[in-house]
Amino acid sequence: MAAHTLNIYMLSLGRMHCHIYGRNVHKALNRATYATALSTNNSSPNKGFPDRGSRGPIIRRPRREEGEPRKDRMPVDQDWTAVYPTAAPFRPGSVPLPVRMGFPVKRGVPPEKKGNLELIKIPNFLHLTPTAIKKHCEAMKLFCTEWPSALDTNVKCDEHFPIKIECKDYVSAGTSIRNPSARIVNLRVSICPNYDYAMYLLTVLYHESWKTEAWESEKTVADMEEYSWEDSPSQKNALSTLVRMQIAGEVEGDAVRDKLLGRPEVQEYRESVIRLMNEGESESSILQYREAVKKLLKL
């Protein structure tokens, strides 16, 4: 009688368990039914495993087989930049080379690449193949402009840009992205008598030139240092003359203006006017202006 009640109790316990651990249903029920005949043996069916108390036996899911390493599935003409797109440590399953590294044991060979810590320690350049570098260059070309062709010798560079400023960027490894020694900027100028004072002046000027004062945004046409042809009375007059010349059959509008601006005669006229205004009147500049006007008005 006592045994029976005990068994019912165990059965109910088993049922409780199967709400929590769905897989335990079978085992709990089995334990309850077998226990009626035998003496109440509460030990778990898994012999040798530690007693898990009221949780139930450990379910060992069958271990999944590991898949084939990547190197066995690599075609010969694959895209290597997909395997190593960025700097990464050596992965023996991804590199199809039979590399060995290390000091060999007596009458032996260097250890193989699987589990080889030496190959992981060293920096590798597997992400910098010639193909990868070409791809990088192609991507960067969008952001580059041509070097000005007139500055082909060092002498010419010095002439136009006598003051050279060197800013150094540092690549260093640490938790912060800033490097205090990158703040030092080098200024190079050819010799002048009072060197220290000149350096001081240049440093101050360099910093000052970067500052934009509030009143600078109120610059008007009269303040401009150079003459610019865009939006000037000269441009307006020229364009209106040309438009009137061509008025037969063509639609007025911005498209006409843009087309006119693109014509070589108009560009030449523009150059000559700018030259006259900026450089002042001289024999050659007036001659240039004359030629440009003749071409423009088709005389």
| Contact set with other proteins (CB under 8 A) | 61, 66, 87-89, 91-93, 102-103, 105, 111, 114-118, 120-123, 171-177, 180-181
Nearer to other proteins, 54 or 175 (CB): 175
Residue carrying structure tokens 């260059």: 137
Max CA separation in the chain (angstroms): 132
Q: How far apart are CB 98 and other proteins at their closest, in Å?
A: 16
Select 52 or 219, whichever has its Cβ closest to other proteins: 52
Whichever of 76 and 177 has its CB closer to other proteins, that residue is: 177
Give CB contacts under 8 A, 24+ apart, made by 9-14. 10/35, 10/40, 13/54
Q: Indicate the residue among 70 and 294 with the shorter CB distance to other proteins.
A: 70
Query: CB of 109: closest distance to other proteins in angstroms?
Result: 12
Structure tokens at 285: 């500049």
CA-to-CA separations, 244 to 223, 270, 295, 297, in angstroms, rounded: 32, 19, 16, 11
Residue 265 is encoded by which pair of tokens?
């005669």
Structure tokens at 150: 């007139």
12 or 172: whose CB is closer to other proteins? Answer: 172
Q: How far is the CB of 196 from other proteins (least distance, A)?
A: 26
Q: Cβ of residue 108: shortest distance to other proteins, in angstroms?
A: 9
Give the shortest CB-97-to-other proteins separation in angstroms: 16
Calpha distance 66→64 (Å, rounded): 6
